[in-house]
Amino acid sequence: MVRTDPKSATSSEPARLLIIAGRDSSGGAGVVADLEAAKWAGVSAHVVVTAETRQGSEGLVELGARSPREWVEEASRALEEGIEAVKFGLLPGAEHIEAAARLLEEIEERVPVVVDPVLAPSLGGRFLDALGVLALREELLPRGCVLTPNILEAAELTERPLKLLMESPEARVEAAEELIERGAGGVLIKGGHAEGELAELVCEPGKEPVWLRLERRSGSLRGTGCRHATAVAASLAKGIQLSEAAKVSSAWIGSLFPSQGAF
């Protein structure tokens, strides 16, 4: 098992976060957004790139996946140096998800792991095919990770009607509970695609669901989901509980949209 060497609570050094994700050629999402969130949270980030994507105004042009062996070797070296949390973003295929699952076997159980299930880019196209989604469900989800899907991703991962999840808070709770039953250590369903009020859902095993009521704001920003998940992972790296980590992350994301309107 790889040593993670967690810092003591009295350490003055910043917590260390390992970010394993793709790079967006437009610079709007992926590791660029991740690093912005890590800087905001005040953690030390080590980045491992899984794919050099090419994206344009009409969506994904080229996935540009790296060999799983290459990025896993880089990640293993980072784990040897010691980390307090891991955040997975884009895993560009079933073989990458299986590699990530094996990598988690090297990590101490007490180190939190956040998985942002990036299934498709916001501008169009697909990152993960059906085999990739199946691998995520069967290989990575049972590893006890904190999952941070948006409503579209939650619907696909639980094979539930998207319209139902968009309209029904109760259906989102049921979806989150299913993901926990499948092995997730916690679930944060982001609420930007829902109808009605903007609310995010936090579910943890053995605890009552927590709803975070947020103000809808105008404007758009690519990479919002990347930033949100990384900010949550950074808070977990500092020992903050999931519900509070989600709360402070949501507040920061909201501050990036100054005027009121549709978030």
Which residues make beta-bridge pairs with 46?
18
**In-domain check, residue 162:** no
Among the ranges given (23-27, 171-175, 209-213, 225-229), the one the predictor scored with the smallest mean pLDDT: 23-27
**In-domain check, residue 261:** no
**In-domain check, residue 20:** yes
More confident residue, 199 or 158: 158
The yes-or-no verdict on residue 36 having pLDDT over 90 is yes
Question: Rounded to whole angstroms, how far apart are CA atoms 211 and 113?
Answer: 22
**In-domain check, residue 210:** no
Among the ranges given (45-59, 157-171, 198-212), the one the predictor scored with the smallest mean pLDDT: 45-59
More confident residue, 107 or 209: 209
- The tokens describing 187, both together, are 């679930």
Residue 90 is part of a domain; what is its CATH number? 3.40.1190.20
The yes-or-no verdict on residue 62 having pLDDT over 90 is no
Q: Nearest Cα to 173, choosing from 154, 193, 192?
A: 154
What does the pLDDT average to over 135-143?
A: 94
pLDDT value of residue 219: 52
pLDDT value of residue 103: 94
pLDDT value of residue 29: 85
Contacts of 25 (CB under 8 A, 6+ apart): 52, 53, 54, 55, 61
Beta strands 198-203 and 186-189, pairing class:
antiparallel
Domain around 87: 16-149+223-255
Half-sphere exposure of 202 (CA within 13 A, CB side): 17
**In-domain check, residue 101:** yes
**In-domain check, residue 115:** yes
**In-domain check, residue 165:** no
Question: Rounded to whole angstroms, how far apart are CA atoms 154 and 152?
Answer: 6
The yes-or-no verdict on residue 7 having pLDDT over 60 is no
Q: Measured in Å, how far apart are the chain's first and last C-alpha atoms? A: 43
pLDDT value of residue 194: 60
**In-domain check, residue 30:** yes
The yes-or-no verdict on residue 107 having pLDDT over 90 is no
- The tokens describing 186, both together, are 């916690």
Answering whether pTM is above 0.85, one says: yes
pLDDT category at 25 given cuts 50, 70, 90 is: confident
Domain count, the chain: 1
pLDDT value of residue 220: 62
The yes-or-no verdict on residue 9 having pLDDT over 50 is no
pLDDT category at 260 given cuts 50, 70, 90 is: very low
pLDDT value of residue 8: 41
- The tokens describing 19, both together, are 């970010």
Most confident of 57-66, 117-126, 172-181, 221-230: 172-181
